[in-house]
Structure formats: structure tokens, C-alpha cells
Amino acid sequence: MTLPNAAEDERRTVKIREVGPRDGFQNEPETIPTADKIRLINALGRSGLNRIEVASFVRPDVIPQLSDGVAVLTGIDLPEDVDRMVLVPNSRGLGNALAHRDLFEEVALFVSASETHNQRNINRSVAETMADVKKMGERIVGEDLGFCAVIATSFGCPFEGKVPLDRVLDLAEQFAEAGATEVGFGDTTGMGNPAYASRFFAAALERLPGIEVTAHFHNTRGQGLANAYAAFEAGCRSFESSFGELGGCPVPAGSTGNIATEDLVSMFHEMGVDTGTDLPAVIEAAQAAQSVLGRKLTSHSIVAGPVTWARPVG
């Protein structure tokens, strides 16, 4: 028997961060009860997903769906190997988060690659945001927290159209200089395509040695999994997704959900790629979210379940 070498092992393994509890819940028209959020997050943690974006420290009047973030962080009971991430928009939000430093391991800072989207999303210019990133980065690193960057509209902006690749990667390098060890590239409104995703991640991996490069695709136009596959083939090994295909972007309206975690896991498992997760358990968590919301969710695996290969007869 020939054993796989280390390089082959790495190729057949990916990391997945579950972002539904933050990115998904914030886009729901109703506010999900805190107890239900806690129950769903605990289910995700028991599925083998060991990176979960749990909450954000944004103004409650802006995103009331996430106003119970501290209560959720306090109430969840996750395995010790699960890293809890929080998203913060600015220095004030970071200060509020650090008042609860013991409740999480990772902080995500974000900016949009397009000026118009950044202004409409957080009412600041890109330059203002990145100036604040430098200050926040020092505080995050000083607290010995994981520092993850998120660049929205990396693959296109609904207001400005094409976003130059160099502009996106220049922002990524600025995040790395500020101390980020991971940079996630978001297809915020589902404008990416597999051909461009392949070129994009090949370039990002070349420009960002030593940085974990993460793909965050939305399924707004049905190309999310194809884009994830293209990113994987280009060498990306870190992905973000949302159970039940929850989520989207509040700016602009109609920008529907992220790729479903259970669909992403199913694809990778059928490809022989290890995700470290129990697919039936992820599907159960998505089904539970569907029950809480009282409506059908759009992931395929909720309906079809895992692929079952018939055993040979005889």
C-alpha cells in the first residue's frame, strides 16, 4: 500500500468557517430568539465545525438581529477546539468586544473593495476604514487574538461594477501589514464566476505568502459551489459558508445567501476532501434552523440529504 505524502494530505483537506450565526442571522427580517440561536450554534459546534463566526459588535439600532451578541457568546457551550469569531466595524466596536475578551478567540475586521459599497455599508471611506484598521490591528495582536480580515465586493460591486484585482490585493497586503494572519475575499453579491475565481485565488496566494487565504462566496446567481471548486483547484484551502444557505448582504436588497455549508461539505466529501465535519449533523442543524424560521431554506442537501452509494449485491 502506498501512503499519501504530506503535500497530498494537505491537498485533500480544507478548513471551513461557519458564518451563519452572524452573516446569516443578520439578514433575516425577524429577530431570532436568543435561546434558539444558542441551540443552533451548539448544534453546529457538535457537527465538527471548529471555526464559527458567532456575533458582531455593531450598533444594535443598525442591526437589531444581532443585538444579543454578548448573551449568545455567554450562553453557548462549544467543544474546546472550536474557535469563536466576532466581527467588529470600527474601534468603538472593538472596544465593546474587548470588554468581553474571554468569550472569543478571533476578531474579524472588514472593508469593501469598492468605495461606494463601503460608504453605503458602514458610512466611511475606504481610506478612513483602513486607517482605523492599523489602530485596531495593534490592539487585536496585543490581546493575543486571531486577526482575520474580510474584503467585501472582492469580485465585483453592484454599484461600481468590476473591481480591479490589484486594488483588492493591495488592501489585503495592508491588512497583513496591520497584523492579519488570514484574509477572506467576499463575493458579497454573487457577481463572481469560476474562471475569474481561479485567476483571482492563484494571484492572491502568490501575493500573500504566509497568509491564510479564505474564499467567501454567495450563491446569489447560483454559481457559489462552482466558484468554490475553482478556488480549491487554484490552491485555496480555507472557506466560509452558512448553514441552510442563510445570509446575504443588506446593501443592496436582493443579495441572497451564502453558499450552504452542508452543500459545500457534501461537494468536498464526494471529491475525497476532508472537512473534519459530520455532514448529517450539519444537515440536522440546517433543518433545525428551518424549523426556527418557519420557512423552507434553499440549500439542496436539506432536501436531498447526503449522497448514498448502493452496496454491491452479492
Residues with a known catalytic role:
249
Cα separation, 258 vs 62, in Å, equals 21
Secondary structure (DSSP) of 68-86: THHHHHHH----TTPEEEE
| Cα dihedral 284, 183, 87, 139 sign | positive
CA-nearest of 84, 93, 95 to 124 is 93
Is the distance from CB of 94 to CB of 105 less than 8 angstroms? no
Alpha carbons 177 and 179: distance in angstroms, whole number: 5
202, 235 Cβ separation under 8 angstroms = yes
Residues contacting 253, CB < 8 A, separation 6+? none
Q: Which secondary structure element, helix H or strand E, spans residue 216, and what is its range?
A: strand 212-217
User: In degrees to the nearest 10, what's the CA dihedral of 54, 238, 194, 203?
Assistant: 120
Cα 105 from Cα 305, distance rounded (Å):
32
DSSP 255: B
